[in-house]
Every structure is written in structure tokens, then in C-alpha cells.
Structure 1
Amino acid sequence: NAIAQIKERKYAAAYKNSTKKVFLVGINFSKEERNVENWEMEVWE
């Protein structure tokens, strides 16, 4: 899933010392419909 990919590739690592909440947002797009297929969000801890 998209959140797992964000974590595996460590995209949020640059924000690990931030005092603000960091949200991981994964969005899947449909090539056929050319629209958002689904999305998921998680607060990074």
C-alpha cells in the first residue's frame, strides 16, 4: 500500500525532528478513470 511505500522509502525522515505533526498521505490514481481511486492517511510517529 501507499503508506508502506512512504515508510520503506523514508520520505518522512527529513521531518523526524519537527515539533509539528507529520501526516503520511498515500493517494492511488486510476489510469483508466484518470481520477483518485482511493487514499489513506496516517499520523507519523
Structure 2
Amino acid sequence: IYVEFVFFRYGVALYYPPGNFPNQYAYNVLPRSDLEDFRLA
């Protein structure tokens, strides 16, 4: 589940440039630390 969230987060950040709503939603709701995402995975 955590791996899917990580891929979803990177997908949103990749397809949407900074400042758009989906990217802001991903960075505000999902964990901010990338290292912690991989540590929890």
C-alpha cells in the first residue's frame, strides 16, 4: 500500500507542474519526507 502511494505521489508530481492543485494536494496530504516514505515501504 505504501509503495502504491509513493508511485501515485511521484506520478502526480511528474504529470502536474508545481503550483497546480493535484500536486499541492499530494504534498499537503501525503507524507512530506521521501526518505520516510521509502523507510515505511
- Give 1 or 2: higher helix fraction: 2
On whether the aligned pair clears a TM of 0.5, the verdict is: no
| Structure of greater relative contact order (alpha carbons < 8 Å, 6+ residues apart) | 2
Asked which structure has the greater CA Rg, the reply is: 1
- Give 1 or 2: higher strand fraction: 1
**TM, length-normalised to structure 2:** 0.32
